[in-house]
């Protein structure tokens, strides 16, 4: 059982700010994902929780214990890294068992705990293999089992799927999701992959340049992004964003006119999701422009047009066909639109 509290945590190196004023409560058993591009501060935040980095300012609490200055071994957290960190001279059984020996757990408990952890990640038949004889996915599962066997208060996972190919990422992601449900341990997971974040998290923290941009459930962040950075980072494809002017509830830009908006007058960035709009006949949409490119996705066709300086993507049916350069219309209902401040990028409604 572990609630984690980060109180105004900062990390600076000279004038460079790695993490700025991170303030958050992570309830017991929550699966929290720190999401953002490289260099945004997500791994630094995790390393401070683990005790591998000291915060410049602020406090870190696990339950009713302040751990800000404690050594990693005294925090009762287990980490799973991007690099598996396995001992090549040890077999799978010995690798999983190693944390129990280090922590001086009574030897009578070792075998049962190792086999239970191995069973949870489907490694029972590989216990006597060396890491060199395992696939990448199997090695990552050994790293997971080595964390599970400790029965820690907190799991910390730093981009554990980055070294796996696309198919293995999907299956291992499902395994982590299932393990989280079974183990019911507070988990903090770092990734730059928004699909991992959306599928795994109870809540997501989106970060940019050391600053938290938005905290919320995957649905919250997808449906109501707090600013243009979050809108452009979450979603595949990312939210369409167009520059223009709103006057009397009508947004106007090059090749674009959308009426019925509930937003004040002035310059804005207007966003909408590709799956919320529809392709229609040329001249009959709120956007009318030539096809820039077409992508067949199997379950849908992605149609992209150029509206002013913006490329606007819309999902059409899987059997929709058009040629590059053909004029098309795009129907954009006003209720699906997201207005953002042109200068700050902050959400306006």
Radius of gyration of the chain (CA): 24
Residue 328 inside a domain? The answer is: yes
> How many independent structural domains does the chain possess?
2
Residue 165 inside a domain? The answer is: yes
Three-class secondary structure assignment of the chain? CCCEEEEEEEEEECCEEEEEEEEEEECCCCEEEEECCCCCCHHHHHHHHHCCCCCCEEEEEECCEECCCCCHHHCCEEEECCCCCCCCCCCHHHHHHHHHHHCCCCHHHHHHHHHHHHHHCCCHHHCCCCHHHCCHHHHHHHHHHHHHCCCCCEEEEECCCCCCCHHHHHHHHHHHHHHHHHHCCEEEEEECCHHHHHHHCCEEEEEECCEEEEEECHHHHHHCCCEHHHHHHCCCCCCEEEEEEEECCEEEECCEEECCCCCCCEEEEEEECHHHCEEECCCCCCEEEEEEEEEECCCCEEEEEEECCEEEEEEECCCCCCCCCCEEEEECCHHHCEEEECCCCEECC
Indicate whether 176 and 99 sit together in one domain: yes
Residue 216 inside a domain? The answer is: yes
Tell which of 173, 192, 227 closes a domain.
227
Residues 156 and 77 sit within 8 Å (Cβ to Cβ)? yes
Average pLDDT on 204-209 reads: 97
Indicate whether 213 and 253 sit together in one domain: no
Indicate whether 298 and 178 sit together in one domain: no
Indicate whether 320 and 214 sit together in one domain: no
Residue 349 inside a domain? The answer is: no
What CATH number corresponds to the domain at position 30? 3.40.50.300
Indicate whether 189 and 47 sit together in one domain: yes
Indicate whether 55 and 118 sit together in one domain: yes
Instruction: Report pLDDT digits (tens) over 15-24.
Output: 999 999 999 9
Ranked by mean pLDDT, the top range of 16-25, 127-136, 249-258 is: 16-25
Residue 346 inside a domain? The answer is: no
* Structure tokens that stand for 63 in this block: 């339950």
Indicate whether 200 and 334 sit together in one domain: no
Average pLDDT on 103-110 reads: 90
Q: State the CB neighbour count (10 A cutoff) for residue 174.
A: 12
Indicate whether 249 and 217 sit together in one domain: no
Instruction: Report pLDDT digits (tens) over 5-62.
Output: 999 999 999 999 999 999 999 999 999 999 999 999 999 999 999 999 999 999 999 9
Indicate whether 180 and 157 sit together in one domain: yes
- Output the pLDDT for position 19: 97
Q: State the CB neighbour count (10 A cutoff) for residue 50.
A: 19
Residue 347 inside a domain? The answer is: no
**Percent of the chain clearing pLDDT 90 (strictly above):** 71
Instruction: Report pLDDT digits (tens) over 283-311.
Output: 899 999 999 999 999 999 999 999 888 89
| Of 59-63, 163-167, 192-196, 280-284, minimum mean pLDDT range | 163-167
**Percent of the chain clearing pLDDT 70 (strictly above):** 100
| Confidence label for 162 from pLDDT (cuts 50, 70 and 90) | confident
Instruction: Report pLDDT digits (tens) over 67-105.
Output: 999 998 889 898 888 777 788 999 999 999 998 998 888
Q: What is the pTM of this model?
A: 0.89
- Output the pLDDT for position 18: 96
Tell which of 192, 210, 227 closes a domain.
227
- Output the pLDDT for position 245: 93
* Structure tokens that stand for 76 in this block: 């009762």
* Structure tokens that stand for 42 in this block: 């997500």
CB proximity list for 298: less than 8 A, separation 6 or greater: 318
Q: CB-hemisphere CA count at 13 Å for 58?
A: 23
Residues 27 and 3 sit within 8 Å (Cβ to Cβ)? yes
pLDDT of 165 strictly over 80: no
Residue 213 inside a domain? The answer is: yes
CA-to-CA distance for 58 and 94, rounded, in angstroms? 39
Average pLDDT on 309-329 reads: 93
- Output the pLDDT for position 41: 95
Indicate whether 99 and 202 sit together in one domain: yes
**Would you tell me the crossing angle of helices 92-102 and 136-148 to the nearest 10 degrees?**
30
What CATH number corresponds to the domain at position 300? 2.40.50.140
Indicate whether 194 and 235 sit together in one domain: no
Pairing mode of beta strands 31-35, 203-208:
parallel
Tell which of 227, 256, 286 closes a domain.
227
- Output the pLDDT for position 1: 65
CB proximity list for 174: less than 8 A, separation 6 or greater: none
CA-to-CA distance for 229 and 195, rounded, in angstroms? 16
Q: Which domain holds residue 336?
A: 229-341
Indicate whether 78 and 202 sit together in one domain: yes
The closest alpha carbon to 280, from 320, 244, 251, 236, belongs to 320
- Please indicate whether residue 4 or residue 163 has the higher confidence score (pLDDT): 4
* Structure tokens that stand for 198 in this block: 């959306």
Residue 287 inside a domain? The answer is: yes
């Amino acid at each position: 059982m572990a609630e984690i509290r980060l109180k105004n945590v900062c990390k600076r190196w000279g004038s460079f700010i790695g993490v700025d004023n991170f303030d958050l409560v992570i309830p017991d058993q929550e699966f929290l994902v720190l999401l953002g591009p490289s260099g945004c501060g997500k791994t630094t935040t995790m390393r401070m929780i683990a005790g591998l980095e000291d915060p410049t300012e602020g406090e870190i609490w696990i339950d009713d214990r302040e751990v800000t200055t404690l050594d990693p071994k005294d925090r009762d957290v287990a980490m799973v890294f991007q690099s598996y960190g396995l001992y090549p001279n040890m077999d799978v059984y010995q690798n999983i068992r190693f944390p129990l020996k280090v922590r001086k757990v009574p030897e009578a408990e070792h075998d049962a705990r190792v086999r239970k952890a191995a069973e949870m990640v489907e490694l029972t038949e590989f216990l006597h293999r060396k890491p060199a004889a395992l696939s990448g996915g199997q090695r990552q599962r050994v790293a997971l089992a080595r964390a599970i066997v400790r029965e820690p208060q907190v799991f910390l996972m730093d981009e554990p799927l980055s070294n796996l190919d696309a198919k293995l990422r999907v299956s291992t992601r499902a395994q982590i999701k299932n393990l989280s449900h079974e183990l019911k341990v507070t988990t903090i997971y770092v990734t730059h992959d928004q699909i991992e974040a959306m599928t795994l998290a109870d809540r997501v923290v989106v970060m940019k340049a050391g600053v938290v941009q938005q905290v919320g459930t995957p649905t919250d962040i997808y449906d109501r992004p707090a600013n243009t950075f979050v809108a452009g980072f979450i979603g595949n494809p990312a939210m369409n964003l167009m520059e223009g002017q709103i006057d009397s509830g009508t947004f106007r830009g090059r090749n674009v006119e959308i009426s019925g908006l509930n937003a004040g007058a002035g310059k804005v960035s207007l966003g909408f999701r590709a799956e919320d709009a529809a392709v229609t006949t040329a001249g009959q949409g709120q956007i009318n422009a030539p096809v820039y490119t077409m992508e067949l996705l199997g379950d849908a066709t992605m149609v992209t047009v150029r509206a002013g300086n913006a490329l606007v993507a819309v999902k059409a049916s899987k059997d929709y066909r058009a040629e590059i350069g053909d004029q098309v219309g795009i129907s954009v209902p006003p209720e699906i639109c997201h207005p953002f401040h042109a200068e700050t990028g902050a959400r306006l409604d």
